[in-house]
Amino acid sequence: MEIAEKVAHSSLITIALAKGRMQDEALRLLARGDVRVNAASLASRRLAIEDESGRYRFVFVKPADVPVYVEHGIADCGVVGRDVLLESDADVLQPLNLNINCCRLAVARRAGNESEAIGMLRVATKYPRVAARHFGARGVPVEIIELSGSVELAPVLGLADCIVDLVETGKTLAENGLVVCEVIAESSGRLIVNRASYQLKAAAVMHLIENLSRAVEGV
């Protein structure tokens, strides 16, 4: 084994994974990149588990908390959507687009009511910063109504004129009578890295980035 490879194998890397919609695809991609978690560990309720090689430790956290764990160095790396990173102000490196969970951050309204709002636009969202930036840049006065889920209900029940939310298949919008009127950003899963870990665990981090790059490219 080359010295660089030995060093890469000697550092334990902690990876924060977003629980929920991204978790399965992230684990499948990591497995293709030679980072495998056994089924029994995954089936358990433990929130921190090691991979089969003992070189990686995973912590499963809410998506919005992934950049927090990585910025503070509790996790060396993280896997999280670009949507979450756009909303976060965490100072982390983003070396790799993992091309998983591809979706869009979009503005949506009730179908047939595309120009109903008069005066201040009420915008319901889980992404208050993204929404404020988007409408602020256009000079549109908005009242941001922050929700933590089921955002599509807000225009249906009259709480908001529109929403800023993630659209993947478009099924949730369609089933609630909403349509996209503007796409704000494309999103997909990203590998993020703590700035200090990128230097101090350079060999191990590069090893992971290279393995995942190959997995993304399907090599």
List interacting residues with ligand PRP (CB under 6 A). Answer: 21, 149-152, 165-172
What minimum distance in Å lies between the beta carbon of 163 and ligand PRP? 9
User: Which CB sits closer to ligand PRP, 35 or 166?
Assistant: 166
CA 15 to CA 12: how far, in whole Å?
A: 10
For ligand PRP, the closer of residues 76 and 83 by Cβ is 83
User: Based on CB atoms, which residue is closest to ligand PRP, 51 or 165?
Assistant: 165
Closer to ligand PRP at the Cβ: 7 or 147?
147
Taking the least distance from each CB to ligand PRP, the nearer of 33 and 81 is 81
Ordered alpha helix ranges (H), the chain: 3-10, 23-32, 39-43, 66-71, 82-87, 128-137, 153-157, 171-175, 195-200, 202-217
| Shortest Å distance, C-beta 200 to ligand PRP | 34
Please state the closest distance from residue 171 (CB atom) to ligand PRP, in A: 4
Residue given tokens 């990591």 in the structure block: 30
Cα 104 from Cα 45, distance rounded (Å): 31
Shortest Cβ 137–ligand PRP spacing (Å): 22
Count of CB atoms situated within 10 Å of the CB of 169: 8
Work out how close the CB of 168 gets to ligand PRP at its nearest, in angstroms, rounded to a whole number.
3
Instruction: In the chain, count H helices and then E strands.
Output: 10, 11
Residue least distant from ligand PRP (Cβ): 149
Tell me how long the chain is: 219
